[in-house]
Structure 1
Amino acid sequence: MVRFMILMALFFSAFSYSETSVNQQLLDRIAKSKQQLMAIEKQVNQQSLSYQKRINQALNDVKDLRDKASAIQRVADEQILSVEQLSERVEKWRAQDNYQKLLLQSYFEQNGTPLGQFTNANGEVVISESVFNTLQSQLVDALVPRWQPSKVVDENGEIEHFNVLKMGPIALAYNQERASGGLIEKHVNQAIPSLVKGVYSEGEVAQLAQLNSTGLGTVMFDPTLGNAAKLQNKQQGILEHIKKGGVWALPILFFGALSLVVALIKAVQLLKLPSVKADLTARLSSAKDLRGAELTLVEIAKNYPVSSQRDDQLVAFLMKYRYQVENYLGVVATSAAIAPLLGLLGTVSGMINTFMMMNTFGTGDAATVSGGISEALVTTELGLIVAIPSLILSALLSRKAKSHNAKLEANAIQLSKYEF
């Protein structure tokens, strides 16, 4: 029995040893396979990069060959061009040359450069190296501003010599002898530029003098490039603005004045009316509190007994009194309704004139068209200015009158059945 147990132990130990040895062999094989796989992947990547470089080089060679083939084909096509095609191409080149010469001539004329040195005996501009050298020097001068003497119309309207500094579309001028300067502007039909009035103060002129002498200074300029000055010059007073409305502005102003006068008169009248309280029958004992229409209603009630005759007299007085209180209030309401209609009529009339001008002079000048439209809209503006206050005044006055009459009617109903 003991031998059997020893044999079994030896068997199991030998079995476990053999199993461990097999596992170790498997792990070694797996590690060796991984190393071989990584080596193969590295080799494949290197070959792929090599093939990719070859493909890119081949594509570049194909592109170069295509460009060469296109150039060869172009030369071959030009060799077989007909005389008419060659003539057409020459005409295009001549037109392009003439266009470039016109651009150069226009540029030199705008900058005041004499054209005699760039023209031939026939007076045509000749494109040469000197032309481009002159262009280069002028462009450099434009990029690097410099003070240059020039004639300028000063604030008094006199032509004086100023030092002018051009910075793109902005130009500054300064006269050291007169200690004056500022921004200058040049209109289309103006040969000599002029100083802009009322822009530079004494301190800003001093800064301009420092800039002229030392090259350092703080200057003020118009970022709108003259549009602000144009807008300031176009500012108008009330009368000039109303004149733009034309003949239709007159009836609008008439109804506005009529509405204002009537509203003021009716407002004073309504404010002067005695206040009406609801408890009239309770206040009959004190006759001092009764005034105006209330006192008249009480006298009518005292003169007539309780009957339909008293009611008729009270109603007749109320109708007459209502007419006196609400009289002419319709004028204010009518003015509020008519004023915008007159403004619309003036706008339509102005638009018709604008379209007639467009039909005559065309739509090339936007300022003419927009100016006519703005003038046509003035009547609409005036109509609304008159209508809105008139409508508000009409509502307030009507409410005041109706409230006063309603209180009187309530007191009259109480008096119609009151026994004295």
Structure 2
Amino acid sequence: MKLLKVTLLFILFAPLFVQAQAVDKSILSDIKKAQQALKSAQDKVAAERAAIAKKLSVLQRQVLTQREKTAVVRRAQDENTLGLTQLQQRIDGWRAQHNFQQNLINRFIRQQDLPVPEKTGSLGSILRHSETLLAQLSPTFNPQAVITESGVIEQADVLALGPVMLFVNGEQAGLLESGNNGLKISLSLEGASRQSLLDLAKTGRGSISFDPSNSKAIAMARQHESAIEHISKGGLWAIPILFFALFALVIAIAKSWQLFRLPKIQLLPGSKLAEWISQKDLNQDNSLDGMQASLMQIARQEPNIAHRDDLLFNQLQLSKYRLERWLGAIAVVASISPLLGLLGTVSGMIETFKMMTLFGSGDPEVVSGGIAQALITTELGLVVAIPALILNALLSRRAKNYYQQLESFALQISQLSESNIKPLHSSEHEKPVRAAGAC
């Protein structure tokens, strides 16, 4: 019965299913047609847009061209339609510019003390004056008195080229500098430079040596001095500074030799140390040396613990004195050297002020030269003090580290009690006693 009902329902609804499928197919076909139509419309719009863009760019260029032509035509019309007032303003501007240029020419003529020419010949007068100036640029030697390097005043032919001055005196030639006492020879030329200057004086042609620094480079070259010359300028107070420097150097070399030759401290475990202390033969172990061997010898020879610790402390103090001996002298040198330098500077400044009182302060060389010499002692003091401080710090650190290792070794010995050492001694004494009893 149920099968019959299902069959009837299927027969009734089958046409509806077929009709729905046909509707779906028709809708899909319509959608595809619509998509194709849309695509073709989009392609057509894109093609039309490109054509319109080209036409628009052509029209824009034509508009710009027309605007330029219009601007040219308007300017031409403005020129044609200018009034009399505007033309008069232009003429007045040209006249003002002409008057300004003429005033500049007249001012130049007055500055150069030229004869006042006619209005039409101003430019020609300037040109003639320029030719005169060019003619004056040819070398002209004038006889003048110059001071030689030995201080003798002699006559020489002098050529002045602005601030640079050269001289020729017989077969000598060179550069001059202007001082308070007159012209002085700053540099005598040699070789090809001298011969070129001599040819220039004889024939009017030749190359010359030019000093763009105006003799300042020569003065700087003369300032170079050796170390001995530099120290000698410090005066009397440089001597004690050098003495203390030599004193500190000798002590530093001696202490370095002492500290860096010290044997290395050996730190032993407690049992090993007790065994070494209990040994009767002191020559059984040769690995310990120096200050550590002295501490070991005290521990072996003194059975009383309290007395042994006192001896160890005294030996440590003696070792500390030997390690730090003369290190304080280096520290004293580092402290006193800057003070000696300052004392030399003060003395030099006093002498400088005396010179200023006698000769005045108009000459800067007197003041600057005295101050420079006064500061040399301060420089020497600092040069001595800085290395002395460094050496004192290094050597003191070395001595302190070695003493701390000795102190640790002595503390390790002092921590050993009689109970740690006596069993070893008693075990050594029991063997012969037992042997005697057996006999």
With normalisation by structure 2, the TM-score equals: 0.56
Structure 2 counterparts to residues 188-337 of structure 1, below 5 A: 188-190=180-182, 196=186, 199-212=188-201, 217-238=206-227, 240-246=229-235, 248-279=237-268, 284=276, 286-305=284-303, 307-337=305-335
Matches within 5 A, 1:92-103: none
Query: Residue 369 in 1 paired to residue 367 in 2?
Result: yes
Q: Any conservation in 2 of the 1:278–1:411 contact (CA below 8 Å)? A: yes
Aligned with 1:319: secondary structure? Answer: helix
Q: Post-superposition shift, 1:350?
A: 5.0
Deviation digits for residues 294-322 of structure 1 (CA, Å, limit 9, x no counterpart): 22111101012372332221121011110
The structure number with the bigger radius of gyration is 2
Greater alpha carbon shift after TM alignment, 158-167 vs 290-299:
158-167
Equivalent pairs, count: 322
Instruction: Give 5+ residue unaligned stretches, structure 2.
Output: 1-62, 97-109, 116-128, 277-282, 425-439
Distance 2:211 2:69 in 1: 75
Are the counterparts in 2 of residues 181 and 195 from structure 1 also a CA contact under 8 Å? no
Task: Give CA-to-partner distance per residue, 1:16-57, whole Å, 9 cap, x none.
Answer: xxxxxxxxxxxxxxxxxx9x9999977754554567775654
Work out whether residues 160 and 166 of structure 2, in 8 Å CA contact, stay in contact via their aligned partners in 1.
yes
Aligned partner of 1:181: which letter?
A: A
Q: Distance in 2 between matches of 1:354 and 1:345?
A: 14
Q: Which amino acid aligns with 2:369?
A: G
The corresponding residue for 1:145 is 139
| Match of residue 162 from structure 2 | 168
Superposition pairs of residues 90-169 of structure 1, within 5 angstroms: 142-147=136-141, 164-169=158-163
Tell me the CA shift for residue 208 of structure 1: 3.9
Q: Which residue of 2 aligns with 1:405?
A: 403
Q: TM-score, normalised by structure 1?
A: 0.58
Superposition deviation, residue 214 in structure 1: 5.5
Q: 1:155 to 1:141 in 2, by over 3 A?
A: farther
Native 8 Å contact 1:346 1:376 kept in 2: yes
CA distance in 2, matches of 1:205, 1:64: 57
1-side partners of 2:292 and 2:185: how far apart? Answer: 76
Where 2:286 maps in the other structure, the secondary structure is helix
1:212/1:372 Cα in 2 relative to 1: closer, same or farther (>3 Å)? closer
Unaligned runs of 5+ in 1: 1-33, 67-99, 105-126, 130-134
Q: Residues 311 and 237 (structure 1 numbering): CA distance in 2 closer, same or farther, change over 3 Å?
A: same
Q: Distance in 1 between matches of 2:258 and 2:309?
A: 27
What CA distance in whole angstroms lies between the structure 2 residues aligned with 1:158 and 1:367? 22
Q: Equivalent pairs: percent with the same residue?
A: 38
What per-residue deviation string (whole Å, max 9, x for no partner) do you get for residues 349-393 of structure 1? 655766787788775443333334323322321121111110111
SS for the counterpart of 1:288 is coil
Change (3 A) 1:355 1:187: closer
SS in 1 for 2:372: helix
Q: Distance in 2 between matches of 1:207 and 1:263?
A: 59
Aligned partners of 2:302 and 2:308 also within 8 Å: yes
Once the two structures are TM-superposed, the CA of residue 410 in structure 1 deviates from its matched residue by 2.5
Q: Report if aligned partners of 1:339, 1:383 keep a CA contact under 8 Å in 2.
A: yes
Residues 245-303 of structure 1 show CA distances to partners (whole Å, capped at 9, x for unaligned) of 45554553443333223223322332443343334957958532332212211110101
1:204–1:53 distance in 2 versus 1, CA, 3 Å: farther
1:405 Cα deviation after fit: 1.5
Q: Secondary structure at the match of 2:322?
A: helix
CA distance in structure 1 between the aligned counterparts of 2:402 and 2:146, rounded to whole angstroms: 74
Letter of the structure 2 residue corresponding to residue 274 of structure 1: P
Question: Residues of 2 paired with 1:189 and 1:242: CA distance?
Answer: 30
Contact 1:339 1:384 in 2 (8 A): yes
- Contact 1:343–1:380, Cα closer than 8 Å, also in 2: yes
Cα gap change, 1:350/1:206 in structure 2, threshold over 3 Å: closer, same or farther?
A: closer
Question: C-alpha displacement at 1:330, in angstroms?
Answer: 1.4
Distance verdict in 2 for CA 1:286–1:396, change over 3 Å: farther
AA at the equivalent of 1:290? L
Q: Which amino acid aligns with 2:365?
A: A
Over 3 Å counting, the alpha-carbon distance change for 1:52 and 1:206 in structure 2 is same
CA distance in 2, matches of 1:307, 1:140: 109
1:142, 1:167 within 8 Å by CA — same for their partners in 2?
no
| Contact in 2 for aligned 1:336/1:391 (Cα 8 Å) | yes
Aligned residue identity for 2:315 = F
Amino acid at match of 2:311: Q
Cα 1:290/1:271, change in 2 over 3 Å: same
Pair 1:390-2:388 in alignment: yes
Cα pair 1:142 1:168 within 8 Å, conserved = no
- CA distance 1:38–1:378, change in 2 (3 Å): closer
2:139–2:204 contact (8 Å) kept in structure 1: no
Give CA deviations for 1:162-199 in whole Å, capped at 9, x if unaligned: 655443333444466xx443334554324xx56556x4
Note the 1:71-82 alignment, pairs <5 A: none
**Paired residues for 1:180-191 under 5 Å:** 180-185=172-177, 187-190=179-182
